[in-house]
Amino acid sequence: MNRTRIEYLDYTLNLFVGCNGVDCAVREHCWARAMAKRQRCELCRRFVPHYHSERWVEPFKVKKPSRIGLNFSSDTFDRDVVHHLSFNEMIVMVEKADWHTFIVLTKQPQNIPFNQVWPKNLWIGVTVNRKADLWRIDALRERVGGVIRFISFEPLYEDLGAVDLAGINWVIIGAQTRPNLQPEIEWVHTLAAQARIVGAGVFIKNNVFPWSKLRLQEFPKGCA
């Protein structure tokens, strides 16, 4: 596991690396793909979805309860990940390391298995960058229950207007950093206000309006 500068995480753990980039709005600016090119592993450099079995034990070495971003250099529900033989092994790891909170993000919620019982310490979210991605929120609600559900609007590329956030526990809002591209302040305020209506926590990342001293960084209710 690696310490991370992502504000809402303590560590990242990439059991899987690589994804197919299906319907990804940020593929040309993907930091994970760029970082993977620096690795010695050939599959990492090619960003082909694959599993690193040697990392399975790492969460058990950290006794302090931590928030761990799982597979942030992949997509946990990429078709080649969710059908991998080690996918269930990963879920068992999350369940056994129950003093940690594991956080996963996907752009491919259509691949989330129906009727799966998820460990309570797993938070599942979708990335929404533009209006064309809003279907992912419906897919998340349809396929995931019993755990924290969240939306990451990072980077936020356009005004999304009215967004149905019913059943969503947490909203993250971020900018694009390489190259820097800031959302309009009205877009951020509109999303935050809609999150308030449904009682979702709002986490505005430090890369949004970094010159501002105002910073709203909440977690889902009941979580620290």
Domain 2-204 classified CATH 3.80.30? yes
Dump pLDDT digits (tens) for 142-155: 999 999 999 999 99
Strand partners, 204: 173
3-state secondary structure of 186: helix
Model-wide pTM > 0.85: yes
50 vs 191: CA distance, rounded Å: 35
Spans of all domains in the chain: 2-204
Angle at 157 between CA 155 and CA 162, to 5 degrees: 105
- 25-39, 77-91, 190-204: range with lowest mean pLDDT: 25-39
Q: What is the mean pLDDT of the chain?
A: 91
Q: Distances in Å between the alpha carbon of 92 and those of 117, 176, 207? A: 11, 34, 34
14 vs 4: CA distance, rounded Å: 12
Cα torsion angle, 162, 136, 174, 125, sign: positive
Dump pLDDT digits (tens) for 152-174: 999 999 999 999 999 999 999 99
Which DSSP state fits 182?
P
